[in-house]
Structure 1
Amino acid sequence: MKQKLSIFFILLGLMALVFAFQSGFFRASDDEYVHQKMPELVDYNFHIKPILSDNCYTCHGPDANKRKAGLRLDLETNAFEELPENPGKYAIVKGKPNKSMLYQHVISDDPKQVMPPSDSQLKLNFHEKKLLKKWIEQGAKFDKHWAYIPPRKAELPKIEETDWVQNEIDYFVLEKLEEHDLSPSKKTANETLIRRMSLDITGLPPNMEQMEKYLSEGQDFVFDQAIDEFLASPSYGERMTQVWLDVARYADSHGYQDDSYRSMWPWRDWVIHAFNNNLAYDEFLIEQLAGDLLPNASKDQILATGFNRNHPITQEGGVIQEEYQSYYVVDRTNTLGKGILGLTLECAKCHDHKYDALSQREYFEMYSFFNNVAEKGLQMDAVQAANQKYFADAPFMVITDEEANGVLSFINKKKEEDVKVMVMNDSMPRETFVFNRGEYYDLGEKVLPDTPKDIFPFSEDLPKNRLGLAKWVTDTDNPLTARVFVNRLWGMLFGKGLVVTSEDFGVQGSLPTHPQLLDWLSRDFMDHGWDIKYLLKKIMLSATYQQSSIATDELKKADPENLLLARAERFRMSGEMIRDYMLATSGLLNAELGGPSVKPYQPAGLWEETNAGGNRGTLTSYVEDEGESLYRRSLYTFWKRTMPPASMSIFDAPTRDLCEVRRQKTNTPLQALALQNDVQMLEAARVLAQKTLAENAGSKNPVTSIFQRILIREPNKEELAVLESYFEDALDLFSNKKGDAEKLLTQGKYKQIDTDPVRTAALMLTAQVIYNLDETITKE
């Protein structure tokens, strides 16, 4: 009898296993989820909404044209309604997963019933199914999208290792680490931290004098004083402007086929001036969005609105005026969404947004704020533009010598003819209509200026113009603006934001890794008057920022992407920063602030190859500048949309056709080739070698000197031994090939310094090796 019972239970167990495999609970791909810890309270925003967004919203989301079965899951009221195609049935029944059709379809093993459909290539894993079930059991509580809830300061978490904490930021970071049984990394060396801070604040390495000064203070070194000194440098404004230019899609040409010249650089000078004077971020935005509409607007406030006119403009004959004029308004609308609000507004241009609660009507209500500019789709062709040195499409402002010496004294204008800059001017009121299917010629219902109500209602006290929009954007109750900027600044310092998708705070974007920290910083930022320098200093004074970047085996395994911030991040600098680094350490950098864009070295023929406009425009061929202009910071390099600077494009710079807030990060052989062979890099190595030998004529060990100049630290014994051996080998090589040494030293236009060519060429190659080190081009 016992034997029969044993066989019976074995068969029963086998049948249960078969059923389990058929129902998908023990698929190999689910193994990692079976033992995943379930939260005590399932949160709609952080646990459930990502599941619904990724798997359900395409057919059951905001887009009415794609909606199926009459079911909408992104809105609470709709999600609990009776299913129109199944009377008496409900997608979600609070507290009853067995009565909830959503859950029943998700766990079904019937290919005709399972959701998402089997042909969609989507499916929920074991953990996601358990989350849905527990959420329904707990009452299926909905909540507003996390990014649409105004940030608030949560109480500081209770943690165990309080000795590590240096300010409020560390409480939130350490809480996460302790939840995962991890400890933060030790504090990095002072010399590493000084270099890190200098690169983050100024975009340039510290000079040897600064490093020696700070290190001589030993343990008494005061970090906050060093931060203040870096923030007071004019280079700070240049560093911050470099990042903003991607957001503002700044370029020195119009784009499209003819791609002719435009003079927008005075607006860039305004941005540098604004950052260096620590203009509050809310005022920074208001003046750029609507400075011309401020009461008694000053010249500099009007100039700030050039931000809205940085988009491409066609100068090609035969275009339809209305079509391209609508493109410009679309661009301004999308830039506001992506660059300032962290929203993919563009997805609602042709239909209701498929994932976020943004309707097509709301898109064009936002569009209408920007639709009153006295501009045309085609203003002037490239031939006419070629006859003017400082060209701008109307509406524009004229900057005279008198103004450049007075109210606009921050503009680095040469005493020549007046400069024209494109700005905003709402002198052409237009009616706005929804574009059916996004087509400018197929007009739907008429709309008036307004903002998406799910985000933050537009106050009746605000004017229905760009100034009202700017006030809405910078209202302290607006849930997005401060969060988006704080997150982007965090990403600038740490390599990625607390929300990795810094351009998208919508449903399809990443969830914040530390939501309470992001909210605390955002509210604190606003409480301190939107003070950007205050925010930077707050982050830099945290123990989180000052950690070592060494990735132990434990941390690599537990948190390979460093989302928990148990160490400082290491990442390659941008192309602009790499070039500026080499100019600065070689002594070539021209520190002049502001002014017209310059044309440094560039491979020959690039502009000619991409020129599609014949000889009509002014930018058909690239003519290098001479003298000091070759060594300006990369911020000032001439930016042609159809052919951006090659040295920056290689290192992932965008074209600036559209607003970009997060550059992609690639690692390609072309980058290594550029570092090895670019004339700017070779010239920097040559000049550094010549200056080192000229300044230390009697020195027997110039290798140490150039190492210190480039990496801002002393080499260790092993490093010095390898580099000295390389230097000696190069000396032997060039001793028998003096002609090759002299030829190598012809790199670049900077004046030659009278030094021994053999010794100089050997030291130049050694400097080039150091410039190509991973440590040199990495911010860590």
Structure 2
Amino acid sequence: MFQKLYYVWLVIAASVLFTLHACNSSGQVDAEQMPDTISYNFNIRPILSDKCFKCHGPDAAHRQADLRLDIPESAYQALKDNPSAHALVPGNSILSELYRRVSTKDTAEQMPPPSSNLKKLTPFEVDLIEKWIKQGARYEKHWAFVAPRSYPIPQVKNITWPKNPIDNFVLHKLEEKGVDPNPEADRERLLKRVSLDLTGLPPSLQLMDKFLADKSPDAYQKVVDELMASPQYGEKMTLHWLDVARYADSHGYQDDNYRSQWPWRDWVIHAFNENLPYNQFITWQLAGDLLPNATKEQILATGFNRNHKITEEGGVIDEEYRVSYVTDRTNTFGKAMLGITLECAHCHDHKYDPFSQKEYYQVFSFFNNVKEVGIESVVGGPETYAKRPLMQISNEEVKKILTFINKRDTDKLIVSIMGDSDKVRPTYILKRGNYDAHGDVVEPGTPKSILPFTANYPKNRLGLAEWLFNKNNPLAARVFVNQTWQEFFGKGIVKSSGDFGMQGDLPSHPELLDWLSVDFRDHGWDIKRLVKQIVMSATYRQSAVMSSDKLKSDPDNTLLSRGPRSRLPAEFVRDLVLASSDLLNRDIGGPSVNPYQPPGLWENATSGRGQLASYKQVHGPNLYRRGMYTLIKRTVPPASLGIFDASNRDQCEVKRLRTNTPLQALVMLNDPTVLEAARVLAAKLLADHSSSNDKIIKAFRLIMCRYPQKKELNILMAYYKDELKGMNKADAEKLLSVGEYPVPSNIDRLNLAAMMKVVDAIYNLEEAITKT
């Protein structure tokens, strides 16, 4: 037993070590440098936002001493408690109370007060404030609320490195910091990276061989074009949007019954594959039903705003839940399309950003006129699969109009969509956010600090969409470009992709973000063009290897001095296993399915009513569908996906957590899908008329997407021989019994079990499920 484990861990070590160079863990990050010119947005506002705005910011209810430090007219004026003093005296730090209070050692005078539990300013932060005041204490509008502008493409010293303008912006900053970019990744790793990023699937052996043999200058571009033209591109792009749209296959709450919202998911895949421009992609989802002569497809797109949780419990207050649905749509709009924490103004004025509670309910009013109720129907019947307003889709419409819907039966298909009442429902400011505490009536509107909602727009969701895509809207393009960048690099240019406000992270490359945003907008909101720009860049193509120098100079890859490296999203871990073993069912779209799951999970967490009261596993080809088609029951989300940080889709999520826990290793070691895939692939390998050496090379290539190094191959071969020698019939039968896919009857079962162990060991290497 020890010897078997020895071989497994040796191959794990060999796989991990090949990507790493020796690192000097004692390297220290250079000390902070004082800028020549102090920027309010990039140097001062983050300090004030973290340590001052809680008491001296936009929230009037919690403001102290009648002092606001987020706007100059308040910061410059005489203090209420001491008319002879001013918080800021431009050009004179000695006379500025702000500087005196943050620099004093007297705890009775010190700001923030020690009792506030806010962190004290560091000496460097105090020096920044002092220098800013001496330079005039000039305020700037928050960078994210200023419309992006197209910066000139920077000149760089290394003129041979850039492939497109993205690289000029990145390299310019690298050269300023004295850091060199990494060389381009080798072809095998680059192909694996771009294939996973564009399709969510590993490249086939045929594609690997073709790319390695193609010596033409445009070989990589040809691969990119081929991958983007595949229908799997739409599936890959859709997964992130399902998180954004909080898509699930159940209503949520206690009974958590089934919902038939999957045709909307089919539409999203179709929209990405057809490269529907982003402004139309969003407009249809926000207000497709309000478009002149709206088509069935445009109305179906509005299912985006009906993906929220819906209760079916008896005894609830109808209006309370109806208001919660409108709240969800409002919050989702703010986070998904504006990248702001609008929900923080639900109960009071935003404490950090310039959004009032009134403005929150002005946005709320756009979504407040839907013809819906808080609770509807009886649990269990087909009428509960969708909630009014809804749309019925006939077989004839699937054949002739909505041809992208993967409908396989003759059952009635219904989807929840948007539809407004003829009579306008009044919208009130809700005091403390309580559904029944009506304050003043408000009209539809938007936060003025972003862009005023003028009389030119219709006062409905279509007007909101027009406002969103106004050329002067500072957030629409930036937010989507940033989310798209995040999908390829693991984090956005703005790391806090759901918060572009005062508490959010500053962009690492602000000029690049603006240039990309303007370029995206001015080229017709073309999503495929944006994606291709990113993956064709030298920045993206870099090796992911982190040297000791890079560990010191760019530990978090903020400067983009190396290529992206990250574990695959949960659904793509499953997809890689299924694809590499040739088990994958590649059907596009259709209803969600129930693959293998530990018994009893649903039954122990259900009311015992409705279609989803008990877990009914599928069989046959549906057992091997892509991870994105796994049925999501909100109260009991799929365990294996959840362990790998998949969203449970309770609310809008624009960025998943990335954790690394022992449970993930246990899933890879014990999940029936992984074990079955190892068995099936092993059987296919043994059917080849090739040597054991060649079989293991093929398995390694299918999973790792590269040829094994000699040492790795030797370890795997030794492991195979050892397993074959020690395998007995009883152990083999137990090992081969996992999964429903049939075992070939004419195969040596001891040999199959030994080869299965080798394949399973490869699946369990870190590199197998890592994009490098």
Residues 34, 639 of structure 1: CA spacing in aligned structure 2 closer, same or farther, 3 A cutoff?
A: closer
Cα distance, 1:218 vs. partner?
Answer: 2.7
From 749, 765, 768, the counterpart of 1:773: 765
1:340-351 matches, within 5 Å, as 340-351=337-348
Cα distance, 1:221 vs. partner?
Answer: 4.9
From 317, 329, 354, the counterpart of 1:332: 329
Q: Which residue of the partner structure matches residue 749 of structure 1?
A: 740
Q: Please tell me whether Structure 1 or Structure 2 has the larger radius of gyration of its CA atoms.
A: 1
Cα distance, 1:180 vs. partner?
Answer: 1.6
From 671, 679, 687, the counterpart of 2:664: 671
User: Structure 1 residue 396 and structure 2 residue 387: aligned?
Assistant: no
Cα contact 2:378–2:384 (8 A) shared by 1: no
User: Structure 1 residue 44 and structure 2 residue 40: aligned?
Assistant: yes
Q: Which residue of the partner structure matches residue 653 of structure 1?
A: 646
Cα contact 2:358–2:442 (8 A) shared by 1: yes
1:204-603 matches, within 5 Å, as 204-218=201-215, 220-382=217-379, 386-388=380-382, 391-427=385-421, 429-603=424-598
Counterpart of 2:400 in 1: which secondary structure?
coil
Counterpart of 2:429 in 1: which secondary structure?
strand
Amino acid at match of 1:395: P
Q: Distance in 2 between matches of 1:507 and 1:263?
A: 39
Q: Distance in 2 between matches of 1:315 and 1:535?
A: 42
Cα distance, 1:381 vs. partner?
Answer: 2.9
Residues 389, 670 of structure 1: CA spacing in aligned structure 2 closer, same or farther, 3 A cutoff?
A: farther
Cα distance, 1:159 vs. partner?
Answer: 2.1
Amino acid at match of 1:93: V
Q: Distance in 2 between matches of 1:34 and 1:664?
A: 29
| Structural RMSD (CA) | 1.4
Listed one character per residue, the Cα deviations across residues 345-395 of structure 1 (whole Å, up to 9, x for unaligned) are 11000000000000000000000000000100101231xxx2218721111
Q: Distance in 1 between matches of 2:299 and 2:697?
A: 52
Counterpart of 1:373 in 2: which secondary structure?
coil
Listed one character per residue, the Cα deviations across residues 381-412 of structure 1 (whole Å, up to 9, x for unaligned) are 31xxx221872111100000110111111111
Q: Distance in 1 between matches of 2:218 and 2:366?
A: 51
Q: Which stretches of structure 1, 4 residues or more, deviate above 6 A after TM superposition?
A: none
Counterpart of 1:302 in 2: which secondary structure?
helix
Cα distance, 1:505 vs. partner?
Answer: 0.5
TM-score by length of 2: 0.95
Amino acid at match of 2:191: I
From 175, 181, 185, the counterpart of 2:172: 175
Identity of aligned residues (%): 53
Cα contact 1:251–1:641 (8 A) shared by 2: yes
Cα contact 1:34–1:127 (8 A) shared by 2: no
Residues 710, 378 of structure 1: CA spacing in aligned structure 2 closer, same or farther, 3 A cutoff?
A: same
Cα distance, 1:429 vs. partner?
Answer: 2.2
Cα contact 2:720–2:758 (8 A) shared by 1: yes
Amino acid at match of 2:759: A
Q: Distance in 2 between matches of 1:525 and 1:696?
A: 52
Aligned pair count reads 742
Q: Distance in 1 between matches of 2:219 and 2:621?
A: 36
Q: Distance in 2 between matches of 1:266 and 1:696?
A: 44
Q: Distance in 1 between matches of 2:687 and 2:487?
A: 38
Q: Distance in 2 between matches of 1:165 and 1:265?
A: 42
Counterpart of 1:408 in 2: which secondary structure?
coil
Listed one character per residue, the Cα deviations across residues 510-531 of structure 1 (whole Å, up to 9, x for unaligned) are 1001110111111111111111
Q: Distance in 2 between matches of 1:755 and 1:503?
A: 54
Residues 194, 701 of structure 1: CA spacing in aligned structure 2 closer, same or farther, 3 A cutoff?
A: closer
From 81, 87, 100, the counterpart of 1:85: 81
Cα contact 2:29–2:553 (8 A) shared by 1: no
Residues 148, 513 of structure 1: CA spacing in aligned structure 2 closer, same or farther, 3 A cutoff?
A: same
Using the TM superposition, name which of 690-699 and 175-184 deviates more: 690-699
User: Structure 1 residue 631 and structure 2 residue 624: aligned?
Assistant: yes
Amino acid at match of 1:394: R
Cα contact 1:159–1:175 (8 A) shared by 2: yes
Listed one character per residue, the Cα deviations across residues 316-353 of structure 1 (whole Å, up to 9, x for unaligned) are 00000110000000000000011111010110000000
Q: Which residue of the partner structure matches residue 66 of structure 2?
A: 70
Using the TM superposition, name which of 725-734 and 72-81 deviates more: 72-81
From 137, 144, 147, the counterpart of 1:147: 144
Q: Distance in 2 between matches of 1:390 and 1:108?
A: 64
TM-score by length of 1: 0.94
Cα contact 1:292–1:301 (8 A) shared by 2: yes
Cα distance, 1:702 vs. partner?
Answer: 1.9
Cα distance, 1:695 vs. partner?
Answer: 2.7
Counterpart of 1:434 in 2: which secondary structure?
strand
Cα contact 2:377–2:384 (8 A) shared by 1: no
Q: Distance in 2 between matches of 1:224 and 1:699?
A: 35
Using the TM superposition, name which of 215-224 and 647-656 deviates more: 215-224
Amino acid at match of 1:97: S
Q: Distance in 2 between matches of 1:305 and 1:188?
A: 42
Q: Distance in 2 between matches of 1:675 and 1:100?
A: 60
Cα contact 2:701–2:707 (8 A) shared by 1: yes
Amino acid at match of 2:386: A
Amino acid at match of 1:603: P
Counterpart of 1:74 in 2: which secondary structure?
coil
From 723, 729, 738, the counterpart of 1:738: 729
Cα distance, 1:569 vs. partner?
Answer: 2.1
Q: Distance in 1 between matches of 2:29 and 2:750?
A: 64
Q: Distance in 1 between matches of 2:29 and 2:209?
A: 53
Cα distance, 1:156 vs. partner?
Answer: 1.8
Higher relative contact order (CA 8 A, sep 6+): 2
Cα contact 2:347–2:430 (8 A) shared by 1: yes
User: Structure 1 residue 763 and structure 2 residue 760: aligned?
Assistant: no
Amino acid at match of 1:731: L
Cα contact 2:29–2:552 (8 A) shared by 1: no
Q: Which residue of the partner structure matches residue 26 of structure 1?
A: none
Listed one character per residue, the Cα deviations across residues 624-674 of structure 1 (whole Å, up to 9, x for unaligned) are 001000011111111100011111100011211110011111111110000
Amino acid at match of 2:768: T
Cα contact 1:317–1:381 (8 A) shared by 2: no
Cα distance, 1:50 vs. partner?
Answer: 0.2
Mind listing any 5+ residue stretches in structure 1 that lack a counterpart? Answer: 1-31
Q: Distance in 1 between matches of 2:679 and 2:482?
A: 40
Counterpart of 1:600 in 2: which secondary structure?
coil
Counterpart of 1:218 in 2: which secondary structure?
coil
Listed one character per residue, the Cα deviations across residues 595-637 of structure 1 (whole Å, up to 9, x for unaligned) are 11111111111101111x2x32111110100100001111111
Q: Distance in 2 between matches of 1:707 and 1:524?
A: 41
Counterpart of 1:162 in 2: which secondary structure?
coil
Q: Distance in 1 between matches of 2:72 and 2:574?
A: 53
Q: Which residue of the partner structure matches residue 704 of structure 1?
A: 697
User: Structure 1 residue 55 and structure 2 residue 46: aligned?
Assistant: no
Cα distance, 1:460 vs. partner?
Answer: 1.8
Q: Distance in 2 between matches of 1:676 and 1:663?
A: 24
From 126, 132, 135, the counterpart of 2:132: 135
Residues 495, 104 of structure 1: CA spacing in aligned structure 2 closer, same or farther, 3 A cutoff?
A: same
Q: Distance in 2 between matches of 1:359 and 1:150?
A: 21
User: Structure 1 residue 622 and structure 2 residue 615: aligned?
Assistant: yes
Q: Distance in 2 between matches of 1:238 and 1:560?
A: 32
